A and B are shown apart, each in its own frame.
Chain A
Amino acid sequence: MSSHVRTRRRVTLSATAAACVLAVTLAGCSGTTKNDTKGEAKEAASNAKADPNAPLKKGLKLAFLPKQINNPYEKIVDEAGIAAAEEFGGQGKEVGPSDAKASSQVSYINTLIQQRQDAILIAANDPNAVCGPLKQAMKQDIKVVAYDSDTAKDCRQLFINQASSEEIGRSQVQHIAEQLGYKGEIAILSATQNATNQNTWIEFMKDELKDPKYKDMKLVKVAYGDDDDQKSFQETQGLLKAYPKLKGIISPTTVGIAAAARYISDSSYKGKVVINGLGTPNQMRKYVKDGTVEQFSLWDPKKLGYLGSYAAAALASGQITGAEGEKFKAGELGEYTIGKDGEIILGPPTVFDKKNIDGFDF
């Protein structure tokens, strides 16, 4: 969601800084380059041999480097990661820039190298800008784990993916189809037109809709709210006016879904149009309780941080090296297997509704 690529006019240099925050970003600013370095060899991983039975070392020093320290989503991830580190007797800390510019993470990485951390966990602002210093870190035997937003593949040992893009895209269509009884017009309210992760999800949504069981459903429009409250309001209003037969809106961005829900909740469309998408429980609680929104989904950012922490510890303790097929145990989350290109997928997104929403606070 958010992805820091916003198209609005700005004076300030802080555009990027702001972008992620506004987005509240759930889906984490994972505007990534997942496929562009396909097939690159992973030398760092092959240096050592994995010993799956090695115990987790005590006193490991983990450093979380988010896209920017202001981002509410990444704050949740990092805090959960730090808590997990304490669980296995290590210590974690969060450092990072106040803006999400491509180069602003570099100096932090250099500092972390000098501090001799055992592992660096990074949500990259730019897949390539951080590469040099990260390779430097790996040379000095500091483990590098990317989360939320990947770096180029040879600059880290592991990437913790919140959920696969395909699963996110397809599951949202499946959910709204069930709510609508596989009938009616739907629209998508996205963030900006060039947000990589949004567009990837939308492609999978379109692909899912090609399945014959959706023959009575039609995607009429993809609208862009630019992760701005007012714009998302206007786009929602416009969709409902331009397509009077519209039955449902999928908004895979936290700003968009909150704005759409707020608008619908006190308009004449309440109860007539289904809203679904990706949002945080705190933000959507009011609209789920007042019946505007029946359900929405998101992965649990706490689990993302937790898994990241354990993966970094497993690397630093020699349980894994980052090669495909290796397995490790991530505390209470159970066992995970490393996939292709060092990727670990957290799992399917959680669906929140009236019944379970009060069990979550983020």
Chain B
Amino acid sequence: MTDLPRLRSPAQRDCLRPRARCADRPPAAGAAPAKQPRHRRFTRKDSGVTATIESPPAAPEADGRSARSLMDLVFRARELSIGGALLVLILGTWLANPSFLDDQGIKDLLLNSSILVLLAAGQSVVVITRNIDLSVGSVVGLTAFACGSFVSGTDHSALTTVLLGIGLGVLCGLVSGLLVSFGKVPALVVTLGMLYVIQGIDHAWAHGEQINASNVPDDVLGLGSGSILGIPYLPLISAAVLAGTAYYLRTYRGGRELYAIGSNPEAARLAGIPIRRRVLAAYAFSGAVAGFAGALWLARFGTVVADAANGWELTVVSSVVVGGVAITGGVGTVWGAALGALLLTTMGSALVVLKVDSFWQQAITGVLLLAAITTDRIVNLRTTSALRKRSRR
């Protein structure tokens, strides 16, 4: 978490901090202002707002700093604990079976998680705005099949394939985004509908055909199996997308506004944030990432049937939530989401290596989800009361 130097008040800073949630505010901006402590009213007014607002310092510096470090600790706790769990998991499995971390083993771990990490990055951008994109699984399926039929028996390059995938993905994302932002239909319904629509189109188009690895040009397959300096392309691509997204969300005005929208849409609207445009962009991004993932899916697996990645939307949402992006919006980082995705896939691999019945994987994923949501709630309540105490002082 970084400093946001232009913001003076701690509360204001907190609100615009990636993990912060200007929570426990009444949902409507204008509701019952009189009952709020003075300081909090101030926060409410410009919380969701942009980083450009200069405001007078409301609390002494020292107080602000300690509040901030408290927040920092709390907000980093999630990333730290998932990182820790991941480390324990990897080390434990390695001790039990040293070949888990040999060259091939590390390569496998990286490759297994790349596509999920990518999708988690796209999904978290949408979830941060207090929306959800359930159509990602079918977008991956559609683009994987589309790219497959496009390259089948030709010698199209990997780049063309990827661009086609991204283009198709953006198209799907824009449709969902338009319905959610301009149509004002709840995201859950829109993207569930899109899930079926895209799946239907995909099935109707494929009509039982499948893409076979022998027809896919080597250049495309090379994208899934090649490497630079021993590191496969796929994880490098995911890391690049992840870093770019994280930087944008943290530093750019547009990125901060996404958090503001998720924290309190009404306040964001009153502050003049172009909500509809931002949400539309978030969906387009998620679609683009899903389309990209579809092209990579083809490159990695070679054999593609119409319903590749079927059911993945739930795995993606799980990784995002386990990674600390609140399903209610406004909180979380893509790094957390990526860690969540890494944790889920690594767990899958580790359980097999440890000879644990793979059926447990689902149960453990469920437990992790519940644990994540419970800690979210507890941490949320604790910080809120801690902050309240401080601002009263």
> What residues of chain A have their CB less than 8 Å away from a CB belonging to chain B?
7-12, 14-15, 17-18, 21-22, 24, 69-75, 98, 193, 221, 223-224, 229-231, 233-235, 237-239, 241-242, 244, 255, 258-259, 262, 266-269, 282-283, 285-287, 289
Contacts and interface: CB of A to CB of B under 8 A. Distances in A.
B358 interface: yes
23 contacts: A11-B313, A22-B305, A69-B207, A72-B210, A72-B305, A74-B208, A229-B297, A229-B308, A231-B348, A233-B301, A234-B112, A234-B352, A237-B105, A237-B108, A239-B352, A242-B354, A242-B355, A259-B301, A259-B303, A262-B302, A267-B108, A282-B212, A286-B214
Given A241-B353, A282-B214, A283-B213, A22 B307 contact: yes
Contacts of A289: 214
Contact of A237 (B307, B310, B314, B349): B349
A70 B301 contact: no
A306 B169 CA distance: 41
A71 B208 contact: yes
Interface stretch (B28-36, B62-70, B95-103, B383-391): B95-103
A2 to B, nearest CB: 11
Contacts of B352: 223, 234-235, 237-239, 241-242
Given A71-B208, A230-B112, A262 B349 contact: no
B93 to A, nearest CB: 9
B203 A70 contact: yes
Given A14-B199, A72-B209, A75-B208, A244 B99 contact: yes
A70 B352 CA distance: 32
Most A CB contacts (10 A, CB to CB) among B345, B355, B362 go to B355
Contacts of B301: 229, 233, 259, 262
A21 B112 contact: no
A326 B206 CA distance: 41
A17 B308 CA distance: 13
A7 B303 CA distance: 22
Given A17-B203, A24-B305, A70-B203, A238 B208 contact: no
Given A14-B196, A70-B207, 7 more contacts: A22-B310, A69-B208, A229-B303, A234-B349, A237-B108, A242-B355, A283-B213
B290 interface: no
A21 B307 contact: yes
A235 B358 contact: yes
B73 to A, nearest CB: 34
Range class of the B interface residue count: 35 or more
B134 interface: yes
A283 B303 contact: yes
Interface string B292-319: 0000010001110111101101100000
Most B CB contacts (10 A, CB to CB) among A221, A234, A258, A286 go to A234
Nearest to B227: A266
Contacts of A9: 311, 314, 362
Contacts of B195: 11-12
Contact of A238 (B207, B214, B307, B353): B353
B252 interface: no
Contacts of B380: none
Given A9-B362, A18-B307, A21-B305, A268 B104 contact: yes
A229 B314 CA distance: 16
Most B CB contacts (10 A, CB to CB) among A75, A231, A282 go to A282
Contact of B97 (A14, A241, A267): A241
B155 to A, nearest CB: 15
B134 A267 contact: no
A282 B353 CA distance: 31
Contacts of B210: 24, 72, 282-283
B192 interface: yes
Closest 9 CB pairs of A and B: A238-B352, A286-B214, A75-B208, A285-B214, A266-B225, A72-B208, A286-B213, A18-B307, A258-B303
A8 B311 contact: yes
Most B CB contacts (10 A, CB to CB) among A7, A71, A241, A258 go to A241
A249 B301 CA distance: 19
Nearest to A71: B208
A193 B115 CA distance: 26
A239 B99 CA distance: 12
Nearest to B232: A266
Contacts of A258: 213, 302-303
A267 B107 CA distance: 9
Given A12-B195, A72-B208, A283-B303, A98 B203 contact: yes
A235 B164 CA distance: 31
Contacts of B206: 21, 70
A42 to B, nearest CB: 33
B103 A233 contact: no
A238 B105 CA distance: 9
Contacts of A22: 305, 307-308, 310
A11 B188 CA distance: 12
